[in-house]
């Protein structure tokens, strides 16, 4: 349900309100985060400096013990030198003290119950190596055990001639109780302050958003009432904001321009409707005129009085002319009645025979007709079927350059399942790749003459029968249009 929710769906008042609240919350979270980081940094610095202070104090005390002892200063005597002193040092400085020899073996520890354990774990070799290689002969090892950070400093014990005698180890357990307490107190106070600020922000955001959006609500209501089909009222409002006054002025200018545009558009639409109607009617009338002209020319060219089939040919030519005249009559009647182009007058007919008869008006030498079977019966409008075939064949012939020797157009009719397929293939110039998506658009044409309505009209005819028209083309080699119409017997 919330997947399709977007911030832009909220009103400006709510967005202003939420923006102020979010800003307060983000500021509080940012300040709390910075405070936590600062407290942790201070705690880390405090523990580091505290360990250094204790270590310096213990080393000074150890140096004093070494300078006052009666034992010879060597590693073997460290155990004897600090036998009693180590507990005193640990008590004075309040820290555990461990003394190791140079190989990392424990010699003496300040633990109360401790006696030198020969199998006590030695100092890791990598720590000894880091102590010897450092300039200060010192290394601090930091480990976290059960969420508590432990620091252990390792530094060399030297005699007055700076000869290493052993390694001093001071384990230090970080106690952040004080800082944690201070941090918790600070966060509580911060939460109280920002809770109060949040309540104040709620009130300010509500009144501020209401104040800003009051004038916008008036403009919004007026915009909702604005319609292209009526005379719109201007907004007579003087807002306290310069930006909103500019918006009101822009709206009032838009109302004036909208009224002028509505008048111009209404006039333009009437003129465009008449132009489109005139173009369509002219195209529909011109469509049957071309076959009629070709029929007459063909009749003149092939008329032979002595031909034994002259009567049948005259009958065929007469029927063709009558069909085209009926089409023109239907167009004229539709235009005079201000209705659509000729409605479908479906009749049961042989599609193969109608297509073959339609092709008789063209030059038979340039057209090759192929049929899968002599009869494919379907219920369809004869005039519209003739219009489809005539338009496709005429376009195919016109796409072939005059100087081209091969001008043969192949027309094929066959049945595929419950559809009849009518194909018209030509060896013409083809269709440019950039024009393939526009070929059925009204008014689009690649020819020097014509209005580009033919393919659009026959596409509508085919789609009215729930059929399809598609084409295959290769620029410079030709095009093949294929019409698929469902076979209907009822």
171 pLDDT above the threshold of 60: yes
User: Mean pLDDT in the chain?
Assistant: 77
How far is CA 157 from each of CA 66, 109, 129, 168, rounded to the nearest angstrom?
10, 15, 15, 6
Q: Measured in whole angstroms, how far is the alpha carbon of residue 89 from the centre of its chain? A: 72
477 pLDDT above the threshold of 80: yes
Instruction: Report which of 315, 439, 294, 468 is spatially closest to residue 367, judged by C-alpha positions.
Output: 294
446 pLDDT above the threshold of 70: no
Count CB-CB contacts under 10 A for residue 457: 20
417: exposed, middle or buried (Cβ count in 10 Å: 0-12, 13-18, 19+):
exposed
Instruction: Report which of 195, 212, 202 is spatially closest to residue 18, judged by C-alpha positions.
Output: 202
Question: Which residues, in sequence order, are bridge partners of residue 157?
Answer: 166
pLDDT tens-digit map of 289-320: 777 777 777 777 777 777 777 777 777 777 87
Position 330 confidence tier, pLDDT thresholds 50, 70, 90: low
99 pLDDT above the threshold of 80: yes
How far is CA 21 from each of CA 34, 125, 192, rounded to the nearest angstrom?
20, 58, 16
Percent of the chain with pLDDT over 90: 10
Distance CA(88)–CA(74), nearest Å, equals 21
Across the range 274-278, mean pLDDT stands at 66
Distance CA(319)–CA(368), nearest Å, equals 22
Residue 286 tokens read as 């011109």
| pTM of the entire predicted model | 0.38
β-strands 138-145, 148-158: how paired?
antiparallel
Residue scoring higher pLDDT (207 or 226): 207
Residue scoring higher pLDDT (162 or 375): 375
Count CB-CB contacts under 10 A for residue 62: 24
């Amino acid at each position: 349900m919330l997947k399709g929710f977007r911030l832009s769906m909220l009103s400006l008042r709510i967005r202003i309100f939420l923006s102020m609240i979010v800003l307060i919350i983000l500021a509080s979270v940012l300040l709390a985060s910075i405070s936590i980081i600062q407290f942790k940094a201070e705690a880390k610095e405090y523990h580091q400096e505290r360990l250094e202070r204790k270590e310096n104090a213990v080393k000074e005390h150890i140096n004093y013990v070494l300078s006052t002892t009666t034992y010879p200063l060597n590693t073997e005597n460290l155990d004897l030198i600090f036998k009693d002193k180590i507990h005193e040092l640990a008590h004075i400085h309040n820290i555990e003290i461990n003394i190791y020899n140079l190989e990392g073996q424990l010699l003496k520890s300040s633990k109360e119950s401790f006696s030198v354990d020969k199998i006590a774990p030695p100092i890791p070799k990598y720590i000894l190596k880091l102590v010897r290689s450092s300039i200060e002969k010192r290394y601090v090892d930091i480990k976290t055990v059960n969420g508590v950070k432990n620091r252990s400093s390792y530094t060399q014990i030297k005699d007055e001639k700076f000869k290493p005698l052993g390694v001093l180890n001071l384990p230090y357990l970080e106690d952040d109780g004080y800082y944690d307490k201070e941090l918790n107190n600070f966060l509580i106070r911060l939460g109280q302050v920002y809770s109060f600020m949040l309540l104040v922000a709620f009130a300010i955001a509500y009144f501020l958003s209401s104040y800003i959006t009051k004038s916008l609500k008036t403009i919004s209501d007026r915009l909702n009432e604005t319609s292209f089909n009526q005379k719109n009222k201007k907004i007579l409002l003087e807002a306290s904001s310069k930006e909103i006054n500019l918006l009101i002025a822009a709206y009032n200018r838009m109302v004036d321009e909208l009224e002028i545009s509505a008048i111009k558009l209404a006039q333009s639409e009437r003129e465009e409707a008449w132009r489109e109607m005139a173009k369509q009617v002219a195209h529909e009338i011109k469509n049957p005129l071309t076959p009629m002209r070709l029929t007459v020319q063909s009749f003149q060219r092939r008329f032979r009085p002595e031909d034994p089939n002259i009567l049948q040919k005259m009958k065929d030519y007469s029927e063709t002319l009558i069909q085209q005249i009926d089409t023109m009559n239907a167009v004229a009647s539709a235009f005079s009645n201000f209705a659509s182009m000729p409605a479908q007058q479906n009749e049961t007919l042989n599609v193969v025979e109608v297509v073959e008869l339609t092709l008789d008006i063209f030059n038979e030498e340039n057209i090759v007709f192929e049929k899968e079977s002599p009869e494919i019966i379907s219920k369809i409008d004869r005039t519209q079927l003739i219009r489809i075939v005539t338009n496709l064949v005429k376009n195919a012939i016109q796409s072939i350059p005059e100087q081209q020797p091969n001008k043969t157009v192949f027309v094929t009719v066959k049945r595929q399942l419950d559809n009849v397929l009518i194909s018209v293939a030509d060896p013409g110039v083809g269709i440019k790749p950039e024009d393939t998506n526009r070929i059925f658009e009204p008014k689009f044409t690649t020819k020097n003459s014509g209005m580009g309505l033919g393919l659009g009209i026959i596409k509508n005819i085919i789609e009215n029968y729930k059929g399809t028209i598609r084409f295959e083309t290769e620029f410079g080699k030709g095009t093949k249009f294929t019409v698929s119409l469902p076979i209907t017997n009822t």
